[in-house]
Amino acid sequence: MTTYQSPLRDFQFVLHELLQTSSTMQACGQPEFDEATIDQVLAAAGRFASEVIAPLNASGDEQGCRMPAPGVVQTPQGFKQAYDEFSRNGWHGLACSPEFGGQGFPAVVDTAVAEMLAGANMAWHAYPGMSHATYVNVAANGSAEQKALYLPKIASGAWAGTMCLTEPHAGTDLGLLRTRAAPQADGTYRITGTKIFISGGEQDLTENVMHLVLARMPDSPQGVKGISLFIVPKFIPDAGGAIGARNAVSCSSIERKLGIHGNSTCTMNFDGATGWLLGEADRGLAGMFVQMNYMRVLVGVIATGVMEAAYQKARAYARERLQGRVAGTRSSVQGADPIAGHADVRRMLLTQKTHIEGARALALWASQLGDLQRLHPDAERRTEAAELLGLLTPVVKAMASDLGVESTLLAIQVFGGHGYIRENGVEQHLRDVRIVGLYEGTNGVQAMDLLGRKVLGDQGRRMNAFLDLAAAFANQCSHRRGMAEFTRPLQQLLAQVREVTAELVGASANDPHASGAAAVPYLRLVGHLALAWIWARMAEVAIDRSDSADPIYASKIATARFYFQRMLPQTAALRAEIRAGSVTLMRPALDLL
């Protein structure tokens, strides 16, 4: 079975040549993050991913998590040893502030590391990945005392973190949640309720777990405007961080699920547990969205990592598997050629490669927007970055996770029947990656967020700003050597998306179902536009260096050409679907469904 290897050269291409991370960080006042420093981090992370956690991927899937006694969860063999090594080497704090024991690396570098870890072992990566998401939340919403107490523990890996939103009767509609928060005389709250689908809710990796829990106070209004956010630790710490009494929070069961068996997805019971308000009362959902939006980009990154792992297996198999004859060639082995030479297998491999490298570059750019939002000295640039990131977060999440399923299915198809059995490992990637389209709001919810809240909410202002950004690039490069085959279709698509967006703004004023009917194909259309823009940008970099002996430049140009000629035509069908309107969806009676 092929073992995951970090695509180090591609990360270097995107970070250094496309996004120019070092010069960007220098403009943000952090010149210490030069290319050599970033490369050292990428290389070390790649070794850890391939040598330490990738070998645990299949065994962790087979063993899963166990509950040997009520409330006690054991992770698969080797997971804790790998976690301890990860902690000793300081990886938890890579993107954490030095104020809290971190190293302060930009988010875009941390995102590249996260993709490697997820590609090597998605289930294992979910533990530190979720913990860092809680770090981001507390760093944004916590008091000085809460930050000083909790953030160093998360940055060191000594404590883990979770997000507790979903309840058995209420999924995405958090306004229906029933978990209660009763205020106490000492300023704490008694948290009572049940949360489900809690990633890493209980485990044997850390000495404590910081649960971030959404709950409602007695006098709060109904709906989402009456939700508050609370820190509820597994063990109650003192002011110095030493853990004390066990809190009244416990795991009642581990979900039996399709994939990521090595990650404990728990039902958590809060039985009058002691909690502390995080942020403002009745503003908990806004506070939790800091974490959710971080996770939405992260799960797109996770999907890209799993796509990469499946592609590596499919590519290696296609180069070795002898079957059939390739027209116009003479085989060195009598009677058969490697299947990588067959046109349809090449189509499947190139489709995977196009999806992976495009999604990777798009997600890393989104992470860089987060860095610019936090760090750039120009307030206008910070605002511009924040608006672009807010607009495109659902696109990164939904597009990458949809492509993740499609690409891992293609990897199985390359293997044929050998992909459907466990011994080759590729079927696990499909089972694992399927959850990504459900995480942090299903992809249908992401589509409604993009069209309903982001586009229609401001009558297309932010979308037009993104279209202007892409159009400026296309217009600037349209007459450059070798760029016309990329910029012309990009310009055409930009005009088409502007037209469709304007049509939807108008239709939604008269049809209450217009946005819901168009949301999913619209997100996919915008996703293709974002990928076309990022592929054209990568082609420009590669064309400028096409005289180099480094094969990555010829590869980028060839893959960009494949995307524009073979993938982009899908946008015509998406526009037709959008323009079909809501009638055929909403007119049939419910009893006909």
Report residue 331's pLDDT band, with 50, 70 and 90 as the boundaries.
low
Q: What is the pLDDT of residue 330?
A: 63
- The phi and psi torsions of 140 (rounded to 5 degrees) equal -85, -35
Question: Would you identify the CATH topology of the domain 8-156?
Answer: Butyryl-Coa Dehydrogenase, subunit A; domain 1 (1.10.540)
Q: What is the pLDDT of residue 333?
A: 61
Query: Which are the contacts of 90, defined by CB distance < 8 A and separation ≥ 6?
Result: 103
Cross-strand partners of 313: none
Q: Name the residue type at position 168.
A: P
- The phi and psi torsions of 326 (rounded to 5 degrees) equal -85, 125
Q: Give the pairing type, strands 189-199 and 249-254.
A: unpaired
Angle at 125 between CA 123 and CA 130, to 5 degrees: 105
Q: What is the pLDDT of residue 12?
A: 98
Given a cut of 70, whether residue 439 has pLDDT beyond it is: yes
Decide: 85 and 153 in contact? Cβ < 8 Å: no
Q: What is the pLDDT of residue 564?
A: 98
Distance CA 321, CA 324 (A): 10
Q: Quick: pLDDT tens for 282-293.
A: 999 999 999 999
Three-state secondary structure call for residue 318: helix
Work out the average pLDDT over 485-508. 96
> Closest Cα to residue 118, out of 260, 261, 291?
260
Within a 10 A sphere around the Cβ of 177, how many other Cβ atoms?
A: 22
Q: Quick: pLDDT tens for 337-394.
A: 999 999 999 999 999 999 999 999 999 999 999 999 999 999 999 999 999 999 999 9
> Higher model confidence: residue 126 or residue 329?
126
Decide: 146 and 231 in contact? Cβ < 8 Å: yes
Determine whether 32 is an active site residue.
no
- The phi and psi torsions of 248 (rounded to 5 degrees) equal -85, 60
What percentage of the chain reaches a pLDDT higher than 90?
92
Cross-strand partners of 162: 211
Distance CA 181, CA 217 (A): 5
Q: Quick: pLDDT tens for 422-433.
A: 999 999 999 999
Whole-number average pLDDT of the chain: 95
The CATH architecture assigned to 161-282 reads Beta Barrel (2.40)
Q: What is the pLDDT of residue 170?
A: 74
- The phi and psi torsions of 43 (rounded to 5 degrees) equal -65, -45
Decide: 256 and 168 in contact? Cβ < 8 Å: no
Report residue 395's pLDDT band, with 50, 70 and 90 as the boundaries.
very high
Distance CA 126, CA 247 (A): 24
DSSP labels, 252-299: EEE---SS-TTS-EEEEEEEEEEEEE-SSTT-HHHHHHHHHHHHHHHH
Report residue 550's pLDDT band, with 50, 70 and 90 as the boundaries.
very high
Catalytic residue among 115, 308, 427, 440: 440
Decide: 313 and 426 in contact? Cβ < 8 Å: yes
Query: Which are the contacts of 324, defined by CB distance < 8 A and separation ≥ 6?
Result: 336, 337, 339, 342
Report residue 217's pLDDT band, with 50, 70 and 90 as the boundaries.
very high
Query: Which are the contacts of 256, defined by CB distance < 8 A and separation ≥ 6?
Result: none
Work out the average pLDDT over 514-532. 97
Radius of gyration over alpha carbons of the chain, in Å?
A: 24
Given a cut of 80, whether residue 593 has pLDDT beyond it is: no
Which letter, b or e, does each residue of 500-533 get, where b requires 16 or more Cβ atoms within 10 Å of its Cβ?
A: bbebbbebbeebeebbbbbbbbbbbbbbbbbbbb
Within a 10 A sphere around the Cβ of 586, how many other Cβ atoms?
A: 13
Q: What is the pLDDT of residue 172?
A: 72
Q: What is the pLDDT of residue 174?
A: 73
Report residue 332's pLDDT band, with 50, 70 and 90 as the boundaries.
low
Distance CA 560, CA 532 (A): 8
Distance CA 384, CA 465 (A): 9
Q: What is the pLDDT of residue 400?
A: 98
Q: Quick: pLDDT tens for 143-170.
A: 999 999 999 999 999 999 999 999 988 7
Angle between the N-to-C axes of helices 343-375 and 514-544, in degrees from 0 to 180, rounded to the nearest 10: 100
Three-state secondary structure call for residue 544: helix
Given a cut of 70, whether residue 90 has pLDDT beyond it is: yes
DSSP, res 434: G
Work out the average pLDDT over 1-28. 96
Q: Give the pairing type, strands 159-164 and 208-215.
A: parallel
Q: What is the largest CA-CA distance in the chain?
A: 84
Q: Name the residue type at position 355.
A: H
Work out the average pLDDT over 48-71. 97
Domain ranges of the chain: 8-156, 161-282, 442-582
Compute CA 335 distance to the chain's CA centroid, rounded to the nearest angstrom: 44
> Closest Cα to residue 82, out of 60, 97, 67, 65?
60
Given a cut of 70, whether residue 296 has pLDDT beyond it is: yes
Distance CA 209, CA 190 (A): 17
Distance CA 78, CA 85 (A): 11
Decide: 174 and 210 in contact? Cβ < 8 Å: no
Q: What is the pLDDT of residue 309?
A: 98
